[in-house]
Structure 1
């Protein structure tokens, strides 16, 4: 502030009549007030951050966060509606029935005459029941016999298909299935095996079976990572993890059919290189983390879900920032319905590109305007940082197979986030490798609608027999 110019609310005459020492004090106090107001505004913005205006997860939102209003309920009542087609349980054919219980009358209910023959169309009712499961215990024996002619002892050989441990491939697969797919703890796994399958397994044996399964998944997961690195577009994201109480990061590379997970100490460029390789030439969909800045903009697609939250943060900031934020959100609301039509096949790519031209111009103009808001330094920095990557905003408009959001990668990471919250991470490098591999298999097979337990069993059996393991790659 110019000491010769009076502050707002003080006349020139009063200011000139004020002693110089008082002027200096007033100017200093006003400067301090301005700094404190900026600090309070920053702190208030930090406190008000939530999942709608930042990258914080919804689970961290306080009760005060306003949710979107629920969709108005219609007039229909709960349950099936009148006239809808029934979805009753169908009777299984006779060849799929384990046994029959026949109730056949022997005498007439009216006169007592003996009844003969069978009803060609009897009333049928089927009951599905679980049998009592008894584990199969196979004992392998190797005999040593003495030759009657020369007295030499000869010992037999263990079968090449014999598992080296005390538990077979399917039991190993079930153990990993419970922890990797359903997140069952080791003590609960121990109880489930004993209760449902009548198998007694020590707590220490459960991680041993997981490691055996992890070895069986090495080749399929390596092939899956190679497959992902060959795809023209990959969505990438990362989340925090702990290994032996040390911070690390769980990375995911997501494609429509296969998702690959890696645990690495780095959240920077090295983690991305370990995931996709140093020479990946496809398009990476991601947020604005600096680890991705080494990629050229033409090889990136910034996540518009993250950008939408950034624009909401401008609105919550108030003032001119709010005006720019609202206008940016209006543009987002314009093009997402168009994108959905492109994805559904009801709008051609060429028509979409034509419709997006004015949207692109308006968004970039608004960001340019926001970068000039000197009074809102955070808004200025946000808009400038986005403008630096403006070519990475619109890759999805021109390139087939590129999504405007990074939702697919974030959805794939949710299972890892839940695992981390349950178990507080992994306690060894071997445990981290199991997490990587089982998550890769679970998510990939789910996307391909393939059976998980059979895949795990086949992988464990292949490890025992020395055969090729099953593949995680989608059928051609």
Structure 2
């Protein structure tokens, strides 16, 4: 019997070790690929800002560089041919004092005597607007009493109808509400402003009490405004984070061209969106792609193209096929906006606009389909998500009054976002109701170019008299 060659055993051992090493290498290659994909995903998240994703600008971390403006080729300042603007003179009924300045006796050029004509109009009118020293009006009510022999008690006269139980009248109360709710002053700054500028002393806690008086006066007008928005043919809706008593909440807005209504709740879900718009909403909703709005049929919805532009910019930053497709999609979006602006301004007929848009619509959907098939997972997922709502991409093309962006709602929220950052939200349900109502009032009044202080004063006076408050609706 032949003796086994020891070299065969050695070869078998080496083959076993080689197979094990190759298996480990294969496992490590898979793991490295997974880690590289994870690193790429995390790096993409770090690069994700409001400029290349659907994230709001308020979520950008400190140090995020601002968007660089595109060069226009023009120098700063007024452009050639631009009609300059200057301050217009106040009308005579607004002038409180006229000071006549006589002509000089001698010429300022040669010092010769000047011929001065009487009863001639002035050569120049110069107006100076000054703020007079503000002295608060204090009205004292002396309530007399009579003796009731039957009850053996003094009976004091009640305050006249329309006189508040507190120490501050409707106009001052409305002014304080504007200081906090519109001009974003803290309660302590309001206290300082009243004392230094108006000469009114106010306890810090009184600011919150007066805010609640305004909130109560605006309750009915806010309900009316909410019902009005629910009946409009096109409504913009958005939401942003809020804090209520150190707990996470959300500030919602539903906006039209003339009215905006706000709501603070501890939810970002579908039920809140339905509450804002009403279960039987029949108009068109303009929004972002947040899932809470999916209860509205895509054919009655327009998703925001400004968000899509940022998504396409995010595609470009991924590189590779995503970059190529992102650049093509971005080019189509720029053409879309150019044609939309022409149609909106009446420079392009609606029928012509629709005809020009049809090939663009097909091309955008084709590019998104390709992105969903060939791009990396994050880009492909975003493309598939957009395609699920493809019917909501083009509502603005066929429905007049519908815009391709949700900029209206985002603009209406911007003031509240800044207020949240300086106030850290609200500390109670009552505080949240005040924020909702004062935002609804001031944003709606500004849209309609109505005086905010006069309107708030009228609402407070109506509340004191027990009469209906002035409406926040247009044309009232």
TM-score by length of structure 2 reads: 0.87
1:34 aligned residue: 33
- What CA distance in whole angstroms lies between the structure 2 residues aligned with 1:103 and 1:417? 51
- What CA distance in whole angstroms lies between the structure 2 residues aligned with 1:294 and 1:86? 49
After the TM superposition, which of the residue ranges 57-66 and 136-145 deviates more from structure 2? 57-66
Contact 1:186/1:206 (CA < 8 Å) preserved in 2?
Answer: yes
Q: Does 1:242 align with 2:243?
A: yes
Aligned to 2:307, what secondary structure does the other structure show?
A: helix
1:25 aligned residue: 24
Aligned to 1:471, what secondary structure does the other structure show?
A: coil
- What CA distance in whole angstroms lies between the structure 2 residues aligned with 1:261 and 1:222? 11
Contact 1:236/1:406 (CA < 8 Å) preserved in 2?
Answer: yes
Aligned to 1:261, what secondary structure does the other structure show?
A: strand
1:462 aligned residue: 462
1:51 aligned residue: 50
The 5 Å alignment of 1:377-456 reads 377-456=377-456
The 5 Å alignment of 1:183-262 reads 183-262=184-263
- What CA distance in whole angstroms lies between the structure 1 residues aligned with 2:79 and 2:24? 76
Length, aligned pairs only: 447
Contact 1:302/1:404 (CA < 8 Å) preserved in 2?
Answer: yes
- What CA distance in whole angstroms lies between the structure 1 residues aligned with 2:247 and 2:385? 31
- What CA distance in whole angstroms lies between the structure 2 residues aligned with 1:152 and 1:51? 70
1:87 aligned residue: 86
Aligned to 1:310, what secondary structure does the other structure show?
A: helix
Match of 2:96 among 76, 95, 98: 98
- What CA distance in whole angstroms lies between the structure 2 residues aligned with 1:84 and 1:359? 38
RMSD: 2.7
2:5 aligned residue: none
1:143 aligned residue: 144
Q: Which sections of structure 1, spanning at least 5 residues, go unmatched? A: 1-15, 110-116
Deviations along 1:115-144, whole A, 9 cap, x unmatched? xx9745467654332222111111212222
- What CA distance in whole angstroms lies between the structure 2 residues aligned with 1:137 and 1:154? 25
2:316 aligned residue: 315
CA 1:102–1:409: 2 relative to 1, 3 Å: closer
- How far off is 1:413 after superposition? 0.5
Deviations along 1:97-127, whole A, 9 cap, x unmatched? 434556779xx99xxxxxxx97454676543
Deviations along 1:261-304, whole A, 9 cap, x unmatched? 00011101111122112221211111111111222111211111
- What CA distance in whole angstroms lies between the structure 2 residues aligned with 1:49 and 1:86? 41
Aligned to 2:373, what secondary structure does the other structure show?
A: coil
Contact 2:50/2:56 (CA < 8 Å) preserved in 1?
Answer: yes
- How far off is 1:18 after superposition? 8.6
CA 1:62–1:266: 2 relative to 1, 3 Å: closer
- How far off is 1:80 after superposition? 9.2
Q: Which sections of structure 2, spanning at least 5 residues, go unmatched? A: 1-14, 107-116
After the TM superposition, which of the residue ranges 40-49 and 21-30 deviates more from structure 2? 21-30
Contact 2:176/2:207 (CA < 8 Å) preserved in 1?
Answer: yes
CA 1:146–1:30: 2 relative to 1, 3 Å: closer
2:354 aligned residue: 353
TM-score by length of structure 1 reads: 0.87
- How far off is 1:185 after superposition? 0.8
The 5 Å alignment of 1:165-176 reads 165-176=166-177
- How far off is 1:399 after superposition? 0.7
- What CA distance in whole angstroms lies between the structure 2 residues aligned with 1:272 and 1:178? 30
After the TM superposition, which of the residue ranges 77-86 and 317-326 deviates more from structure 2? 77-86
CA 1:435–1:155: 2 relative to 1, 3 Å: closer
- How far off is 1:459 after superposition? 0.6
CA 1:349–1:42: 2 relative to 1, 3 Å: same
- What CA distance in whole angstroms lies between the structure 1 residues aligned with 2:436 and 2:148? 53
